[in-house]
């Protein structure tokens, strides 16, 4: 079977290739990808090429399919998995396999980084046995595909919240998770992952008492406040406050003031900027935990940390690079129950022909998540621009009408219309 896929051949060398998949083995599964959301991690992979930690083979000889936030349909099941999976079932994948090497140590190999025949930016893929062996091929029962793609970034958020830890005076035993009923601040928290973190903080079982979200872009803050409202937060027992930090002369004192003069139990940093990281350090309360969520591209990225406070105030620093399978299952369950609906993370829609350039330019394209439909040919287009493009293009006119009826958000009806009427790749 032939597939079309965006593959990385080297640094900043992404190509939309058509090639033959090898015959399916008994321990493999053939899958059809329907949707893939582009992650900033894929942009970092594109920039670094073979220098990226998750690349395991010579890319010039064995290019890897990119994309790791994908959802699709099982097409054919190898004999080994016949009792566990069925053709026609929808699936999502946890890409952080942690598959052991010959010495039993977990590896960094992951779909979307490390494999020739599996990744999200493809029409058809071969799912290797280690995905099933590590229980990372997960059933997805939604009435759409885009939430299956968004389950992976939501799992990263869940994992970050679970990675937080605190202690009690006189005890070294770690209590995992944010401080329930405590104070949480998300610095640069109005981007796509920040929005997901707000949603998760408000609607998962373990909530803060006060949630402060900062940004320097007023339009992003306004959109966040419109979609994730103070009123909804209050109904969920959380005091939600949005703060534009652009004009703050003393951000530490200003941000303490909105927290009733106190420092914060939990601090998340959503942008790889040294001043922001150091601001986060200065906002930590006693036994506070700082989560450096935003992964930098530069391997030498660093910032100063007050080690006096590490020693005397019990400050902690954690960082996570993705969620695990349990986090992914949690994300899928919360979405299935209607507790989370992270569609507001998505601001652009495109076809497979747009994926390579969108990945390369991701750090320069404003807005949130870029969602790719892998069997479609379509320029990457902001949902807000559908109506304008619809003046001359009936597909965009109808998509614009559908999204306008859903608060300007992507939705199952719009996806179904695109899948039926969009141009095939």
User: CA-CA-CA-CA torsion for 406, 408, 413, 415, nearest 10 degrees?
Assistant: -160
Domains 1-167+321-425 and 168-313 share a fold: no
Domain ranges of the chain: 1-167+321-425, 168-313
Where does the pLDDT of residue 106 fall: very low under 50, low under 70, confident under 90, or very high at 90 and above? confident
Residue 35 CA to residue 121 CA, distance in Å, equals 8
Nearest to 280 by CA among 212, 225, 204: 212
Length of the chain: 425
pLDDT digits (tens, 9 = 90+) for 5-40: 999 999 999 999 999 999 999 999 999 999 999 999
Superfamily of domain 1-167+321-425: Medium-chain alcohol dehydrogenases, catalytic domain (3.90.180.10)
pLDDT digits (tens, 9 = 90+) for 397-422: 999 999 999 999 999 999 999 999 99
User: What residues does 119 pair with on adjacent strands?
Assistant: none
Where does the pLDDT of residue 285 fall: very low under 50, low under 70, confident under 90, or very high at 90 and above? very high
Whose structure tokens read 């999200």? Answer: 120
Q: How many CB atoms sit inside 10 A of residue 51's CB?
A: 10
pTM (2 d.p.): 0.92
pLDDT of amino acid 182: 98
Q: HSE of 150 in the Cβ direction (CA atoms, 13 Å)? A: 30
The vertex-387 CA angle with 384 and 388, nearest 5°, equals 95
Query: 229-257 in b/e burial notation, b at 16+ Cβ within 10 A?
Result: eeeebeeeebbbbbbebeeeeebeeebbe
Structural domain 168-313, CATH architecture: 3-Layer(aba) Sandwich (3.40)
User: Helix or strand or coil: residue 349?
Assistant: strand
Query: Out of 83-97, 101-115, 194-208, 341-355, which region has the weakest mean confidence (pLDDT)?
Result: 101-115
Provide the pairing of β-strand 70-77 with 29-38: antiparallel
pLDDT digits (tens, 9 = 90+) for 139-168: 999 999 999 999 999 999 999 999 999 998
* Strand ranges, E, within 88-201: 90-93, 124-127, 137-139, 165-166, 175-176, 183-187
């Amino acid at each position: 079977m032939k597939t079309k896929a965006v593959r990385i051949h080297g640094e900043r060398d992404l190509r939309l290739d058509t090639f033959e998949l090898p015959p399916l083995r008994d321990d493999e599964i053939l899958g059809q990808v329907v949707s893939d959301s582009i992650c900033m991690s894929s942009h970092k992979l594109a920039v670094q090429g073979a220098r990226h930690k998750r690349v395991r083979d010579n890319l010039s000889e064995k290019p890897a399919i990119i994309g790791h936030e994908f959802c699709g349909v099982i097409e054919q099941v190898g004999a080994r998995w016949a009792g566990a999976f069925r053709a026609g079932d929808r699936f999502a994948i946890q890409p952080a396999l942690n598959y052991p090497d010959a010495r039993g140590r977990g590896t960094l190999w992951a779909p979307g980084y490390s494999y020739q025949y599996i990744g999200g930016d493809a029409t058809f893929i071969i799912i290797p046995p280690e995905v099933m062996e590590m229980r990372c091929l997960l059933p997805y029962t939604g009435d759409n595909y885009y939430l299956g793609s968004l389950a992976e970034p939501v799992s990263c958020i869940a994992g970050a919240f679970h990675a937080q830890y605190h202690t009690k005076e006189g005890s070294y035993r770690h209590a995992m998770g944010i401080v329930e009923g405590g104070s949480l601040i998300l610095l640069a928290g109005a981007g796509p992952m920040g929005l997901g973190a707000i949603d998760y903080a408000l609607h998962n079982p373990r909530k803060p008492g006060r949630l402060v979200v900062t940004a320097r872009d007023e339009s992003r803050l306004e959109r966040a406040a419109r979609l994730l409202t103070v009123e909804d937060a209050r109904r969920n027992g959380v005091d939600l406050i949005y703060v534009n930090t652009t004009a703050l002369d003393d951000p530490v004192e200003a941000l303490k003031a909105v927290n009733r003069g106190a420092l914060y139990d939990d601090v998340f940093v959503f942008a790889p900027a040294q001043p922001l990281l150091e601001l986060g350090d200065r906002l930590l309360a006693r036994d506070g935990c700082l989560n450096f969520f935003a992964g930098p591209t530069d391997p030498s990225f660093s910032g100063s940390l007050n080690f006096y406070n590490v020693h005397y105030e019990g400050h902690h620093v954690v960082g996570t690079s993705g969620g695990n399978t349990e986090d992914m299952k949690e994300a899928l369950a919360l979405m299935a129950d209607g507790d989370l609906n992270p569609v507001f993370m998505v601001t652009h829609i495109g076809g497979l022909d747009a994926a390579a350039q969108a990945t390369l330019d991701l750090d320069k394209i404003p807005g949130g998540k870029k969602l790719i439909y892998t069997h479609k040919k379509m320029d990457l287009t902001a949902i807000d621009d559908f109506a304008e493009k619809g003046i001359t293009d009936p597909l965009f006119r109808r998509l614009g009408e559908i999204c306008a009826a859903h608060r300007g958000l992507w939705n199952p009806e719009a996806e179904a219309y695109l899948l039926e009427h969009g141009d095939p790749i």
